[in-house]
Amino acid sequence: MTVLGISCWYHDSAAAIVRDGEIVAAAQEERFTRRKHDAGFPTHAVAYCLSKAGIRAEDLDAVAFYDKPLLKFERLLETYLSYAPRGLGSFIKAMPLWLKQKLWIPDLIKRELGLEDRESPMPLIFPEHHESHAASAFFPSPFSRAAFLTTDGVGEWATTSWGTARGNALQIHGEIHFPHSLGLLYSAFTYFCGFRVNSGEYKLMGLAPYGEPRYVDIIREHLIDLREDGSFRLNMDYFTYAAGLTMTGRAMEELLGFPRRQPEAPLAQRDMDLARSIQEVTEEAVVRMAHHVHRETGETKLCLAGGVALNCVANGRLLREGPFDDIWIQPAAGDAGGALGAALMAAHHWGNEPRTAASGDGMQGSYLGPAPEEEDIKTALAGLPIETFATDAEVVARTAELLAEGQTVGWFQGRAEFGPRALGHRSILADARGREVQRKVNLQIKFRESFRPFAPSVLAERADEFFDLGGVKEEKGETPEASGDASPYMLLVGPVRDAKIEGEGLERLTSIDSAVPAVTHVDGSARVQTVTKARNGIYYDLLKAFEARTGCPVLVNTSFNVRGEPIVGSAEDAVRVFRRTHMDALVIGRHVVTKAAMPESEQDAFTPEEIAAEYGLD
C-alpha cells in the first residue's frame, strides 16, 4: 500500500510518501521554490516523492491531507463571531482564500495531482491536525508502545493533545483548545521581541540565555493560568491573535511597561529578560504536562511533535529530569512533518498496515529528500578550480584537513534532510575549538545576528566527554554509549562539561571558557547532534577523520544557507551561496573547491543589504 501525505496552505508545506509502512521520501516545498516557509501546494515536493517511489499519482492507493479543513473553517467562523466587530479586517483578508481555495481542498488535490479523470475515486484521508503530529511522532519512533504529547500553535481546535500509541494504533486522551495555546503564547513573545512569527521562535530561544527571568511573575500572574497538571488558560485581554493580524497590542505594552521592539532595532536587556522569562514558563508548562501524561498513561516512553517540540531546551529538561525513561522527538516536528504523519496515519489506521518499531528509528537519519545527480554537480561547478577525488575516503581526508586548518566548509552530500535542521548533508562546518568561529560564521557567512549560537555535531561514542545528555539514563547506570546517542536530530540541549561563562547580557559572548567555545552558548549549554556510522554514514567518517587529525570529535554544524533563505536544495544553490559568502571551501560529493584557488573575479560576496533585499527578514 502506497500513500502520499500532503501539508500546505498555512506554512512549511511538504509532501511525504509511505509504502507498506516504510518511509520512502519526504521533502519541503521551500527547498525547491527557494521561498522560506513556502505555504503553497507542494507541487515540486510531490513530484519528487512520486519519482523516488517510481510511480505516478494514479498508482497511489490513497492521499492523506494533514488536517480537517472544514473543522478549521468552523473554528475560524466561531472565533470571528465571538470577537466581532473586532477582527473584521482579518476576516475580510482570510475569507477569499477560504472561499476560493481552502474549502475545496479535495478538488484541488485531485486537480494538482491530475486525478480528476481517474476511473475509480482516489481515497482522500483527512486525519485531524494533532493526529498527524502524533502519528509523525510515534510511528517512526523506536518504541513499540508509548505516550505522546503534541503541542503547537493551533490545528483545527486543538493546540495540545496527549494520548497513547501501541502497534499500529494511537488514541488521543486529552486536548487543550484554541485560543489557549502554548505555541501561540511563545509566538506572541517572539512578535513582541521584534522577531517574525513562525520563524523567529528559534531566535527567541537563542536569546533567552542572555537574560534574567525578571518577567516570570508577571507572565504567571497576568497572562497564563498554569495548573499543576500542565493544563493552562491564557488571559486573552492581553493577546490580539484571535481576532486580528497581530499577536499583541497596547494592553501587553501597558502590562510590561514598554513598547514592542521593532524588527531589526538594537536588542535591549529587557528583550533578553523577556526571552528568558517566557522560555522558563514554557519549560515549566511542558514539564508539568509530561508529568501529567506519565501519571495518566503509566507509559515509560514519550514521543513528541508539534512546533513546541522544536524547543530543544525544554526537550533537554525532559530527558534529564524525567519522568519518562526515554523520549523521541520527530525531527520534522512542525507542520512539514504533518505530511509524513498524515501518510502514516492513513497507512496504519485507515489501511490497517502492521507496524514494527524500527531499531534506532524509522527516519533514516531524516535523509529523506532529493540527492543531486553527478551531472548537475559538474554543471554547477563548471569553470571553477575543482579538486576531484576517486573515493569518499579521499574527499573526507581533504575536508578534514581544511577544517583542521580553521577553514569553514560548505558540505553537500547525498539526500537532503527533511525538517528544519541540517544534519550533515546540507551543512556549513567549522572547527568547534575556534574562538572567532561563532562571530565569523554569523556575520560573514550567514549574515545573521551576532548573538545566535551554533550547534555541535559530535561522535556519539565521545559525546559524554563534552556534553551532559545522560540524564535519567546516566542516573540508572546505563553505559555512556547508550546516553551518548541521545540526540541524533539536534533536538536536545544539554550542558557543556566544564564550561565557564562570566558577565551579563551580550558581553557573555566574549567570556566563554570551554573546550569547544564555538558551540558553547552563553549559559554553558549546546544543542547537540550525536553522530553514528549507521545513521550518518560519510558525515560520521568526516568527524572521525577530523578527530584523527586534531583529537577533537566535535564540529560546528549549521544549516547551509544565508539569512532568510531556505537550506540549499541543489548543487547550483550551494555554489551560489559559496560564491556570495566568505565561506572558505565547498565540498559537493567528491569535488572540492576553495576560495584560495578561485580568482577574485569569481568571488562576489553578498552585503547584508543585498541579503535583506533578496530574502527579506527571517
At residue 211, the pLDDT reads 94
At residue 475, the pLDDT reads 47
Helix, strand, or coil (residue 2): strand
Cα 46 from Cα 44, distance rounded (Å): 5
3-state per-residue secondary structure call for 324-384: CCEEEECCCCCHHHHHHHHHHHHHHHHCCCCCCCCCCCCCHHHECCCCCCHHHHHHHHCCC
Domain chopping of the chain, boundaries: 2-127+336-350, 182-326, 374-471+484-615
Query: Where is 321: in which H helix or E strand?
Result: helix 312-321
Averaged pLDDT, groups of 10, the chain, 618 residues long: 95 96 97 94 97 96 95 89 81 82 87 84 93 98 97 96 96 97 97 93 94 96 94 96 90 96 93 97 96 97 96 92 92 97 96 91 97 95 95 98 96 97 97 87 79 93 90 48 72 93 83 92 94 97 98 96 93 94 95 91 72 67
**Structure-block grid coordinates of residue 87:** 477582527
Domains 2-127+336-350 and 374-471+484-615 share a fold: no
Cα 339 from Cα 616, distance rounded (Å): 27
At residue 22, the pLDDT reads 94
Based on its alpha-carbon atoms, the radius of gyration of the chain, rounded to whole angstroms, reads 23
Q: What is the pTM of this model?
A: 0.93
Cα 584 from Cα 574, distance rounded (Å): 13
At residue 256, the pLDDT reads 96
For domain 182-326, give its CATH number from 3.40.30.10, 3.40.440.10, 3.50.50.60, 3.30.420.40.
3.30.420.40
Q: What class does CATH assign to 374-471+484-615?
A: alpha beta
Q: Give the bridge partners for 145, in sequence order.
A: 166
| DSSP annotation string for 266-279 | PP-HHHHHHHHHHH
Q: What class does CATH assign to 2-127+336-350?
A: alpha beta
Report in angstroms the alpha-carbon separations of 609 from 27, 311, 566, 603, 615: 30, 30, 18, 17, 10
